[in-house]
Each structure stands twice: as structure tokens, then as C-alpha cells.
Structure 1
């Protein structure tokens, strides 16, 4: 897949050299709540994942982009998932490493992927599931006119407490 390019940012495919980055990101317990992960991933599993990352989104129903800054340093990940060409929709999730937050990487990445999904995947809508406590993500998606269309009560159990999950949609 071609690189998606913006000002001081690029979104690219996973490369074999991303193994350590992916390993540290996927195994960081701070991120497990948003990914519904409960166990660490081995490098072997992640290496296999990277080796199959080239498969077509129409086959796998998902695609992960690595978000890179102007120096080509990975600063996060943005995923398209649950791609459904029959119903013209796709889910989106974004993770910016804490040390790179508040530097516009989330906004720039989301803008590029929204354009990509509507232009090249020909979707009618993009949706995001966001914990009601994740104020930064809510503000980011609302900035791009995603509308809150639902709330799942006590949907996420994390740190011994239940949290609501909000459903946001952007319809073309």
C-alpha cells in the first residue's frame, strides 16, 4: 500500500523493522483497555502478524498504518477494522504514544485516513468506539464531525470499574 503523506507526517504499512515498536506498544498495559487485550503478545506472534500485514483489506477486513513524524520515527498507530464493503462501513481506532500527544499527530492521521477511506475504500460511513472517559479522543473525533449516536452502558471493565463506551459515526 502506498504511503499516505501529510505535512510532517506519513502513514505507512508495517515493516519488519517495526517488530520492536509493535512489541512495546502492544504489550504496554496502559493501552490494553482500548484494544481489549488481556495478555502480552510474543515477538513470534507479532512477527507473523507483520508478515501478513500486506494482505488486502478486502480479505482481512482490517489494515494497520504506522504513524511516522517528519524523521520517520513511529509515533503511533491508526487502524481500520471491521471493514464491510457490503454495507460500505469501516471502524477506526487510533493510538498516539504519550510522548507524542498534543502535537497534532492524531488530527493529521485521522484526516488522512478519513480521506483514504471515503476515496479509496468507497465507504459511506466510518465509526469509532470510544470510552466515555477518553476526553482527548472524543474531542479529536468531534473535531472531524463524528457524531455521537449511542452509548453502551458499563461496556468496558478496567481497573476494577465499569466504563461506558460511546459510538461515534461520520457519514458521507
Structure 2
């Protein structure tokens, strides 16, 4: 199992044993807005996804880490996506289960993945897309020196309204 070790959490690869965690998280309607999901996933589809989760980020252009505590209990996920080695950039998204929020796990995971992306993927910049009403995520990313660089107006449809999406960037200095 590939693991990035932190002070209070680990970032690790998805494992077949994560099927139930993935199933409950991906099918939680609270998270559908940020994942652009409209229908539930079957365990079969998620099992197939797990079978291919080993793909290298250079091949798949994305990689999902499980954020786990030291007892290997999953507390969330952090994704790298739209990886572009030519232009040296990657997107980032983070999801923490509600009961694990406000415990410092998100901040530690973000710090670890920033270091990983700049050091091992040799990217020049990391970007994040955050709905304008997601104040927790905005505070988290701004705490880690991400800068607001633009707003996509009415970008996310959240029945019955539209929400703006804010684009954040962290450029390696």
C-alpha cells in the first residue's frame, strides 16, 4: 500500500477494502453538487473503478488518495485531476466526511498533497474550483496561500438556483 505519512493522518492509495467507503461517499447526495453527480453509483461500477485505481497519474491524468487516520479509518478523500505534465499543472479537490471536519485533517491533507505535487509531480501550479458559498473550503485553501483568480458566474446548477464557482491557484514560487 502506497502511503504518505503525516502527523495525524495518512494519504494512501485506494484499496479493494474501500468499496463500502467509496459506495457510501459517492452515493451521499450531500456531495453530489461538488462531484457533478446526478445518479447513484452501483457497487459493481465502483468495484471496476477500484480495479483501475492503480493507474499511474501520467496515464490516467488523475489520482485519488484516501485520507485515513492512524487506525486506517477513512475520513475523506483528496483528488488530483486534470494533471497536465506539459503545462505543469494539476487540479485538486478535497472531501472530508462531516464528522471529521474542523479537526485539522483537511489542512494537513492539503499541506501534504501540495508538497507531493510540487516535489514529485514537478508541477508549477495547483488549481481548485470552489463554489462561492463553500466558506470552509475557501478558508482552507486561502490558509494554504491559494489566490482567488476568477469567478465563473452561475457555473453550478443547484436546484433551483445557480451558484458561482471561484477559481483558486497556487503557483510555485
Question: TM-score range, shorter-chain basis?
Answer: over 0.9
Distance apart, 1:70 and its partner CA: 2.0
Worse overlay, 66-75 or 121-130 = 66-75
May I ask how many residue pairs the two structures share in their alignment? 172
Q: How far apart, in 1, do the equivalents of 2:166 and 2:8 lie?
A: 31
Counterpart of 2:31 in structure 1 is 31
Provide, for residues 42-94 of structure 1, a one-character-per-residue CA deviation record: whole Å limited to 9, x for no partner: 10110011110101000000000000012210000000000000100000000
Counterpart of 2:167 in structure 1 is 167
Counterpart of 1:115 in structure 2 is 115
**Equivalent residues in 2 for 1:1-172 (5 A)?**
2-172=2-172
Q: How far apart, in 2, do the equivalents of 1:142 and 1:8 lie?
A: 21
SS in 2 for 1:51: helix
Give the TM-score normalised by structure 1. 0.99
Q: How far apart, in 2, do the equivalents of 1:43 and 1:96 lie?
A: 21
Q: How far apart, in 1, do the equivalents of 2:110 and 2:147 lie?
A: 15
Give the TM-score normalised by structure 2. 0.98
Stretches of structure 2 that go unaligned for 5 or more consecutive residues are none
Provide, for residues 110-158 of structure 1, a one-character-per-residue CA deviation record: whole Å limited to 9, x for no partner: 0000000000000000000000000000000000000000000000011
Q: How far apart, in 2, do the equivalents of 1:168 and 1:41 lie?
A: 29
